[in-house]
Chain A
Amino acid sequence: MLALHDVHKTFLMGETQVHALRGVSLELPRGQFSVIMGHSGSGKSTLMHLAGSLDVPTSGRVEYGGLDLTTLTSRERAEFRSSDVGFVFQKYNLVSNLTAMENVALPLLLRNVTTKQANAQAREALETVGLQDRVTHRPSKLSGGEQQRVAIARALVNDPTMILADEPTGNLDTATGERILELLGQLTSDEKMVLVVTHNPEIAEIADLVVYLRDGKVESQRFQEVTR
């Protein structure tokens, strides 16, 4: 379970102090597809960064599986991201000079896995997202949907327990976006939780839990029964 306890996050934007999160408390269970919704500036991306330990809260606690992420050192947070988290970004965030397979293998290469083993796992992950015939293509040679699938494969390759997606369909056409959502939905299992941050209400329709943020606070949250 991912739990946030009275989390505040402020940062400076120029000389202005921005309160991105103002006392957010949430519990997001494992094995569910959760969606955080809200307008731009509501703090949903900040929440995702804190959940994935990319950032630390100004105050409050973030726990995952009983582990207090706010007490971790920079190195421990990196190891946590490496072993437990898979990120999918709106802009895909692939390394432009690496092939699809190399991009997917990257998290493994940073974990002492041999190149051969990393490549084998990367191929497998690319097969999972249906890109087995695109392994040697660089990002610039892939469509937006394909790039996002590569990003999902990269998020999966470490077999993480938490997949965090920030507007995963934001740059995609409707049909491709639907396929990506379907793929993310399929990833949800007893051991994995998927958390999608979006302002797209259609995504909320397939979520087990929908949380609405407004001005850095939880406005509402609801569980719903969905069939995926």
Chain B
Amino acid sequence: MTFNLLKLALKNIRSRRTRSWLTILGVLVGVTAVVALLSIGTGVQQAVLQQFEDIGYDIILIAPTNPGSVARGSMSGFVPGGSMPTGGLFAGRMAAQSAAQNSSSEGTSGGTFSPENLGNPATTEPADNATDEFDVEQLRAAIGRTATPSLDTSLLLTQVPQLIEAGTLGTQIQPIETETTSGFLRVSTPSLDFLEAFPSVLGGFQIASGTFFTNTTENQVIVGARSADLLQMTIGDSISINNIPFTVVGILEASDQVTEEDEVSDGALSGQGLAQNLGTANSADLVLSGLTNTDDSLFVLSERASEVLVGRAMSAVTITRVEAGASISDTKDAINVAIGLQGSSGNPISIQEVADEIQGTLSLIETVLASIAAVALIVGGVGLMNTMYTAVLERTREIGILKSVGARDGQVMILFLVDSGLMGFIGGVLGLVLGSTLSLLGSSLLGPSLGVGSFTPIIGGWLVSGVLVFSFILGALSGVWPAWRASRLNPVDALAAE
């Protein structure tokens, strides 16, 4: 009987095509929004978690917290001056949170930012679009501060038995000069041992062209993909770092990471923005952009840097690997004790914690967006209810006919419920298809702006079945009241309706 009612309901939908499609459209829009947002949200979460998995959940980072350091500093991007063709100011993500915050009391405010102010002698003109008010001294202080003494990793391994590997990755902001341009860039100084022990931390450190470091006695530099583009570097070119000539021996593969360089495609980021960037990075930025993103950095072996690149601040992040099966929490406690014993300061943070922090934020964003999409879906449901209510009014006579030929109240109700449920279901199916298509198209556009590179939206079985069941139920529920009214109509009155 239900099958027969289903066919009758389908006939009703077909016979009122325009209105049915408009009603279905309301549901479709809502479902499309829900599907697109949820699949993209889940896809982004998976992509982010994959990045952490690539780094490894057994990693604990120890970022220095000494107020005098360029602590937790990942500074990517380039501050050019002199003959930069665009005359603009390039900068990517700059993270020197504590330095910027702590130095504010020392600096003088109200200056105008320009490469000149950073002490770059090659600069002849201030950048056109770099005239925002910002604390020059603050930036200078952040870059020029004395580095925190890094932890003794050998001693750390002895002090914390749960650790199986430990290494230090230094990061400096150095003045750079090539034949065509000059400015500031992040220079990472991993040791050979570090690169061997923690390749995943530096995004795999894949050489795209040229070679790996061949020795520790020559001034060799490996350039990140974006930096190579920006500086127009090729293998064998010479580059001056802190006025010391280095030879480019290798250029890295581009990582999946995206920095704010995309947001400053015109080469314009205000001095104010640069200053703000100094104060907005957190530990998650450190991991995501500072370590896994190699695109905006230059790499010099620490063995060489310690000899020739001196006098600049260095952010020294200690990276450790925990023994399999050991408690991350207990290990962190032990590290804290060791930091104290070494007379240093630092804040151990596990990759798991960072991942949890980011996942929590992403889940919250996803929930908010899905809630907004759900509102659209509810609006669609209200539209459906309106259509069904109108249909009951229009089909009053038909209801009378059905009752006169033996339809029971329940059958009339089911007929209307199936009718509205079907419209909800059809809207759900079409919304699923459209939402999936949009999420696939959107993922390639959104990936870069979300900072996760390319990602695949997740359209799992739970989403498909959930959406179909929910849209049918939404449709049916929207039709409950109109259907109930229809079923309660007196047949004589219904037949008398015009």
Q: Note all chain B residues with C-beta closer than 8 A to A78.
A: 403, 406-409
Q: Is residue A75 within 8 Å, beta carbon to beta carbon, of the partner chain?
A: yes
Q: Note all chain A residues with C-beta closer than 8 A to B411.
A: 110
Which of these binds chain A: B7-15, B175-183, B195-203?
B7-15
Q: Does B12 lie within 8 Å of A97, measured CB to CB?
A: yes
> In whole Å, how far is B397's beta carbon from the nearest beta carbon of chain A?
7
Q: Is residue A81 within 8 Å, beta carbon to beta carbon, of the partner chain?
A: yes
Q: Note all chain A residues with C-beta closer than 8 A to B401.
A: 93-95
> In whole Å, how far is B489's beta carbon from the nearest beta carbon of chain A?
11
Q: Note all chain B residues with C-beta closer than 8 A to A89.
A: 404, 495
> Among A52, A74, A107, A158, which residue has its beta carbon within 8 angstroms of that of B409?
A74
Q: Is residue A174 within 8 Å, beta carbon to beta carbon, of the partner chain?
A: no
Q: Note all chain B residues with C-beta closer than 8 A to A54.
A: 403-404, 491-492, 495
> Among B7, B15, B491, which residue has its beta carbon within 8 angstroms of that of A97?
B15
> Among B7, B409, B410, B492, which residue has its beta carbon within 8 angstroms of that of A49?
B492
Q: Does A158 lie within 8 Å of B397, measured CB to CB?
A: no
Q: Is residue B310 within 8 Å, beta carbon to beta carbon, of the partner chain?
A: no
Q: Does B495 lie within 8 Å of A106, measured CB to CB?
A: no
Q: Does B4 lie within 8 Å of A109, measured CB to CB?
A: yes
Q: Note all chain A residues with C-beta closer than 8 A to B397.
A: 93
Please classify how large the interface on chain A is, using the bins under 10, 10 to 19, 20 to 34, 35 or more.
20 to 34
Closest A residue by C-beta to B415: A110
Which chain B residues in 58-81 approach chain A with CB under 8 Å? none
Q: Does B405 lie within 8 Å of A55, measured CB to CB?
A: no
Q: Is residue B260 within 8 Å, beta carbon to beta carbon, of the partner chain?
A: no
Closest B residue by C-beta to A75: B408
The 0/1 profile, CB within 8 Å of B marked 1, for residues 46-74 of chain A is 00010010110000000000000000001
The CA of A83 and the CA of B408, in the complex, are separated in Å by 12
Q: Known contacts being A95-B398, A97-B15, is A112 close to B1, with CB within 8 Å?
A: yes
Closest A residue by C-beta to B494: A54
The CA of A97 and the CA of B419, in the complex, are separated in Å by 14
Q: Does A107 lie within 8 Å of B495, measured CB to CB?
A: no
> In whole Å, how far is A17's beta carbon from the nearest beta carbon of chain B?
16
> Among B8, B11, B406, which residue has its beta carbon within 8 angstroms of that of A158?
B406
Leading 9 A-B pairs by shortest Cβ distance: A82-B406, A97-B15, A109-B4, A107-B405, A78-B408, A81-B406, A93-B401, A54-B491, A87-B404
